[in-house]
Amino acid sequence: MRKGFMMVVAGILAMGSLTGCGAKEASSDGTFKPTKNVEWVVTSSPGGGSDIYTRVITDIMTKEKLVDQPFIVNNQTDGGGEVGRSRVSKTKGDAHTLLTFNSGDLTPMVTNTQLRIEDFTPIAVMAVDKQLMFVGENPKYPTMEAALEAAKKGENVVVGGSKGDDIATFEKFLECVGMTQDQISYVMYDSTAEAITGLLGGHVDLCISKPAASVQYVESGDMTPVLALSTERFNAPFDEAPTLSELGYEDAEVPVWRGVVGPKDMPQEAVDFWSNALKQVAESESWQVDYLDKYLLIPNFLTAEEAATFMKQYQDDYLATLNK
């Protein structure tokens, strides 16, 4: 399932040049510097992985004085995030609007709408993320083995998760364990934070989450990782979770890339400014300590030109899987 689509993740260092162009909001010397509030749109709820990612970046940019204008983080979750993405795509030529854009945003967008990556200006890819499956404080199924055995016996096991990558990961998981949604069903939430709330409230049996959104609950004991959706175990505090291959199945891994885009036809001077600022963030000690190390992500910075080629190829490969 989607093997061709996943191959592009392994080639994440693809390069090219498809950045937006324009001349608006540039100074007389051909450079750009923000001159007013910067709106940063996030199409998931506060507390989720994309929200954390965005706020870490804006905090570093502010503390390192890379940007001297305020950031306004705008969480727009309507329509599964499509309202926010659509609005950004229509603010053409704007140099003061940014959008957090991940693989989990691209896949539902191209599946459910007419929007494509060509309707935005890719600015950077910052990191690669992976996922785990968790149970709550008093779980019905304390281990992944117990949940799988229950499903095989006809019990209705319910997994909660967000849209986008979580759905792709869940489908890969089902494929690897040889089950269907009649055996293990999926409840889709608007964000990982809401899926975790569903787990803590006992509305689902298990929850898919990335380390960034779940680490505080694992450390507090409210959640326990029971499966690493990866080819190898994670580091502490997630190291007790086995991989599927340890349970006798093929491993399920769907790496998630995290990026940033701007509106279509963002002025080239602004593209250059934001790509360079994000490169400085990626090279900072704060990014390494406060984000990559803390949330167990893999560093993978791509410039605007590289990100444009990568995102376009990722989109094309995914669309090809839909036509099979």
pLDDT in tens, the chain (324 residues): 444 444 444 444 333 333 333 334 555 567 899 999 999 999 988 988 899 999 999 999 999 999 999 999 999 999 889 999 999 999 988 999 999 999 989 988 999 999 999 999 999 999 998 899 999 999 999 999 999 999 999 999 999 998 778 888 999 999 999 999 999 999 999 888 899 999 999 999 999 998 888 999 999 999 999 999 999 999 899 999 999 999 999 999 888 899 999 999 999 999 999 999 999 999 999 999 999 988 888 899 999 999 999 999 999 988 887 776
Compute how many other C-beta atoms are within 10 angstroms of the C-beta atom of residue 232.
Answer: 10
pLDDT value at position 295? 82
Helix, strand, coil fractions of the chain, as percent rounded to 5: 45, 20, 35
| Contact status, residue 242 vs residue 233, Cβ threshold 8 Å | yes
Cβ neighbours of residue 140 closer than 8 Å, sequence gap 6 or more: 205
pLDDT value at position 35? 96
pLDDT value at position 23? 37
Query: Tens of pLDDT along 152-204?
Result: 999 999 999 987 788 889 999 999 999 999 999 999 998 888 999 999 999 99
- CATH 3.40.190.10 maps onto the chain at 131-247
pLDDT value at position 102? 94
Cβ neighbours of residue 322 closer than 8 Å, sequence gap 6 or more: 111
Give me the CATH topology for the region 3-129+255-322: D-Maltodextrin-Binding Protein; domain 2 (3.40.190)
Which string of DSSP letters, residue by residue, matches 193-209?
HHHHHHHHTTSSSEEEE
pLDDT value at position 163? 79
| Contact status, residue 312 vs residue 101, Cβ threshold 8 Å | no
Phi, psi dihedral angles at 42 (to 5 degrees): -125, 125
pLDDT value at position 20? 35
Is the preceding peptide bond at 237 cis, omega within 30 degrees of 0? yes
CA pair distance 79, 68, nearest whole angstrom: 33
- CATH 3.40.190.150 maps onto the chain at 3-129+255-322
pLDDT value at position 324? 61
Angular region, 81: left φ>0, alpha ψ -120 to 50, beta rest: left
Cβ neighbours of residue 22 closer than 8 Å, sequence gap 6 or more: 93, 265, 266, 267, 268
- Give the strand pairing for 224-229 and 71-75: unpaired
Does domain 131-247 sit in CATH 3.40.309.10? Answer: no
